[in-house]
Amino acid sequence: MNIQFLANNQGKITAVQLPIKDWKELERKAEAYDLAASIRTGLKEVELIEMGEVKPKSLEDLLNEL
């Protein structure tokens, strides 16, 4: 990965520049991470519902989240 850092006049890094190919790969990995995190959250919520610690959502509430 060829990363370039851009700095202002004071030498403070203000931006990062990388090839589009690398950016697209990072985006793909971030989306996969977000999906996995969402699934883990859902599974945790199901566990809490099964243990009676959380009330299940109504169908209307689920549809409103979409």
Is residue 66's pLDDT more than 90?
A: no
Is residue 1's pLDDT more than 90?
A: no
pLDDT in tens, 15-57: 999 999 999 999 999 999 999 999 999 999 999 999 999 999 8
According to DSSP, the residues that pair with 16 across neighbouring strands are 5
Confidence bin at 4 (pLDDT 50/70/90): very high
**Site of tokens 């109504």:** 58
